Amino acid sequence: MTYTILIVEDEYLVRQGLTKLVNVAAYDMEIIGQAENGRQAWKLIQKQVPDIILTDINMPQLNGIQLASLVRETYPQVHLVFLTGYDDFDYALSAVKLGVDDYLLKPFSRQDIEEMLGKIKQKLDKEEKEEQLQDLLTDKFEGNMAQKIQSHLADSQFSLKSLASDLGFSPTYLSSLIKKELGLPFQDYLVRERVKQAKLLLLTTDLKIYEIAEKVGFEDMNYFTQRFKQIAGVTPRQFKKGEDR
């Protein structure tokens, strides 16, 4: 994915320096516009919202702080970086605490810009991955995610950690999303699906109950019976005999 940058700076030479010092394409980025002041920038933003805004603080008509405030209120997903001189340094630090991602102190070097772009790209990549997972869980859960869990029902070692590793996310983050979308913690959902599969096998096969327990990922027969009864209201043996129906 290519991330977009808007440069907002009233000094022409500074704008040129930002565009020529670093090859932004190396960071999967492109500069989509330049503005001389905050008001001009705001008009451009409303036409195409960038992923990143590099903005000076002291500018005519609408300064960087005012622009940042507008952007934060309207497009909170945008990453903001202040371009500041020593005179505005304390001001910039205060703004950073209010939600601006970073600042570049003038005069800045190629290395300064590269380090800043690297940090912003890491954040954007993380957000993109999280958004993809959110889409997976909300729009396609019954297909992709449920299918992945179904394919591991027989694996007694299958866990949130292993699923998170397969998907490339932290277990904590994946756990919170699953609970939010399903209304259940991952482990409870997994057990529920295993019991559902066990019911199917009890009704459609002649397998022994301990064999069915193994086929749905339970190594401990007593634990299988306990969890089955918690969910189904009867033991596996009673269910097979039709005592729940």
* Per-residue pLDDT, 179: 84
What is the predicted pLDDT for the residue at 129? 81
User: What's residue 123's pLDDT?
Assistant: 94
Residue that is written with structure tokens 């259940």 in the block: 184
* Predicted local confidence at residue 96, as pLDDT: 64
pLDDT of res. 122: 94
**Helix residue ranges, H only, the chain:** 12-21, 38-47, 64-74, 89-97, 110-138, 146-150, 160-167, 171-182, 186-204, 209-215, 221-232, 236-240
Cα separation, 209 vs 196, in Å, equals: 14
pTM score of the predicted model: 0.59
Tell me, what's the pLDDT at 73? 85
Query: What was the pLDDT predicted at 224?
Result: 96
Three-state DSSP state, 7: strand
| Residues constituting the chain | 245
Pick from 119, 51, 117, 63: which is nearest to 95 by CA?
63
pLDDT lower than 50: segments of the chain? 245
pLDDT per position as a tens digit, 81-107 = 998 876 666 666 666 666 788 888 888
Predicted local confidence at residue 86, as pLDDT = 62
The pair of structure tokens assigned to 110 is 């190629």
Task: Please list, in sequence order, all residues whose beta carbon lies within 8 angstroms of the beta carbon of residue 226, skipping any fewer than 6 positions away.
Answer: none
CA–CA distance from 210 to each of 9, 34, 61, 201, 232 (Å)? 71, 69, 76, 12, 17
Domains and CATH numbers, the chain: 3-132 (3.40.50.2300), 140-245 (1.10.10.60)
- DSSP for 39-92, written as a single string: HHHHHHHHHS--SEEEEESS-SSS-HHHHHHHHHHH-TTSEEEEEE-GGGHHHH
